[in-house]
Structures are given as structure tokens and as C-alpha cells.
């Protein structure tokens, strides 16, 4: 089993932007002497394909393009947020 982090702060998954508790997951990768934690194995695999792309954490844009489909998804996300609280997840 991989050694877990000792921080209490949530860490941002560099692939999808979700918050990850490093003390509760062993989905981790190291690149250039820096550790990265992931919310799911799929995110870890995506990171390992091209780690240089994800070195810098950047905000994730969950919104689709302003097409009919994108506008529909925005309405669904807003309705879910109003009904269930919180913000919609982008990854899973």
C-alpha cells in the first residue's frame, strides 16, 4: 500500500479539478519530485500519459460550448445544484 500524505488540506486533482483528501486515497503519482493525488484511477492514468501537461494546477471549466447541448447541460447542472446543493462534479 502506498504511503499516504500527512496534510489535512484537500488537494486538487490536476486532471479534473476535483478536491481530493490525500489521507483517504492511494491514487498517487510522482513527477519531477512532486506528488500528485487523484480522485479516480482514470484521472491517474490520464495524468501518466502526459504529466507535463498537468504540472500546473489550473481552474477547470465544467461548462460546455454554448451550443444547444451545452445550454441544456448548464440548465441540468443548475437544477441539480438547486435541488441537491453544492456544485456539480466535472469528472464522474
| Buried b or exposed e, range 77-90, using 16+ CB within 10 angstroms | beeeeeeeeeeeee
- Listing DSSP states for 2-63 in one string gives PPPP---S-EE-TTT--EE-TTS---EEEETTEEEE-SSHHHHHHHHH-GGGGSS-------
Domain ranges across the chain: 11-84
Cβ–Cβ < 8 Å for 15, 47: yes
Cβ–Cβ < 8 Å for 68, 60: no
pTM: 0.54
Q: How far apart are CA 5 and CA 8, in angstroms?
A: 9
Question: Residue-wise pLDDT tens for the chain (92 aa)?
Answer: 444 455 567 888 888 888 888 888 889 998 998 899 998 898 899 899 988 887 765 555 555 457 787 778 778 877 777 766 655 455 55
Nearest to 17 by CA among 33, 42, 34, 39: 39
Amino acid at each position: 500500500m502506498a504511503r499516504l500524505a500527512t496534510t489535512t488540506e484537500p488537494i486538487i486533482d490536476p486532471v479534473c479539478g476535483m478536491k481530493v483528501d490525500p489521507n483517504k486515497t492511494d491514487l498517487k503519482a510522482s513527477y519531477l519530485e512532486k506528488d500528485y493525488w487523484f480522485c479516480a484511477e482514470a484521472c491517474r492514468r490520464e495524468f501518466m500519459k502526459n504529466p507535463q501537461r498537468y504540472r500546473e494546477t489550473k481552474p477547470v471549466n465544467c461548462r460546455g460550448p454554448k451550443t444547444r447541448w451545452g445550454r441544456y447541460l448548464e440548465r441540468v447542472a443548475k437544477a441539480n445544484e438547486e435541488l441537491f446543493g453544492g456544485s456539480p462534479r466535472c469528472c464522474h
